[in-house]
Chains A and B, each alone.
Chain A
């Protein structure tokens, strides 16, 4: 039943490790997003894919690599994790990025990443 689901919900790991977060949506949406919410609760866009094509790539270290095997999935792989990567990462999806009315974004429950 969950519209946008992401796993894992919690991720605790050591500096220097590589980790992945998975996201799936069953809403039939064309567009998916990754956001980072830091300790100050500021929600910032990282990446967006529309029908498996990258359309938004903010100034994010290239240690972060998104992958979209199909339009229902958008995964995030992070290499060489650093302390500053600790945050909550949210996946989201919308019908389409092209029209504001269809760009209502639905968020997953978040992945709480702690880098030790």
Chain B
């Protein structure tokens, strides 16, 4: 099975940088995804990693270390609209293609 751990909540000020860590244990691994979910809305895709290293997309970057079962999402130049839940999701190697196992989410609160 998969265990996915991420902090419950983080608070940061506008303009700052926040790093959301995600650790996972899986019997096989295809890739890791990050989604953003604002309260009462649908999750929206942010980034994914298949190989080790950093993927940068504007103010958001995601890092993966497969040997350590570790990823982080880096949010730079925080804006008030970045207040949301950030979900880490692992794509395991199973018989069921496309399956994503989600973590419980990290609620990021951006303060003025």
Residues of A within 8 A of B (CB): 31, 33, 40-45, 48, 50, 55-56, 90, 94, 96-98, 100-101, 103-110
Q: Determine if A48 and B98 form an interchain contact, defined as CB atoms under 8 angstroms apart.
A: yes
- B63 contacts partner chain A, Cβ-Cβ < 8 Å: no
Q: Determine if B99 and A48 form an interchain contact, defined as CB atoms under 8 angstroms apart.
A: yes
- Stretch of B10-18, B19-27, B40-48, B73-81 with 4 or more beta carbons under 8 angstroms from chain A: B40-48
Cα of A48 to Cα of B85 in the assembled complex, Å: 24
Please indicate the chain B residues that have their CB under 8 angstroms from the CB of A56 in the complex.
96, 98-99
Classify chain B: how many residues form its interface, as a range: 20 to 34
Cα of A100 to Cα of B41 in the assembled complex, Å: 24
Question: Contacting A55 at CB < 8 Å: which of B43, B96, B102?
Answer: B96
Question: Contacting B91 at CB < 8 Å: which of A103, A106, A107?
Answer: A103
Q: Determine if B85 and A41 form an interchain contact, defined as CB atoms under 8 angstroms apart.
A: yes
Q: Residues 80-105 of chain B: 1 if any A CB is under 8 Å from the residue's CB, otherwise 0?
A: 00000101000100001111111011
Residues of B within 8 A of A (CB): 30-31, 33, 37, 41-45, 48, 50, 85, 87, 91, 96-102, 104-105
Q: Determine if B45 and A42 form an interchain contact, defined as CB atoms under 8 angstroms apart.
A: no
Number of A-B contacts (CB under 8 A): 66
Please indicate the chain A residues that have their CB under 8 angstroms from the CB of B48 in the complex.
100-101, 104
Please indicate the chain B residues that have their CB under 8 angstroms from the CB of A50 in the complex.
97-98
Q: Determine if B43 and A107 form an interchain contact, defined as CB atoms under 8 angstroms apart.
A: yes
Shortest beta-carbon contacts, A-B, top 9: A97-B98, A97-B97, A100-B31, A107-B42, A56-B96, A43-B102, A100-B30, A104-B45, A107-B43
Question: Contacting A105 at CB < 8 Å: which of B96, B97, B100?
Answer: B100
Shortest CB-to-CB span from A5 to chain B, Å, is 11
Question: Contacting B50 at CB < 8 Å: which of A33, A40, A101?
Answer: A101
Query: Beyond A48-B96, A100-B91, A103-B98, is A109–B41 a contact (Cβ under 8 Å)?
Result: yes
Please indicate the chain A residues that have their CB under 8 angstroms from the CB of B101 in the complex.
45
Instruction: Please give 19 more A-B residue pairs, beta carbons under 8 A apart, in addition to A44-B102, A100-B50.
Output: A41-B37, A41-B104, A41-B105, A42-B104, A45-B99, A55-B97, A90-B42, A97-B97, A97-B98, A98-B97, A100-B48, A103-B31, A103-B100, A104-B33, A104-B48, A106-B45, A108-B42, A109-B41, A110-B42
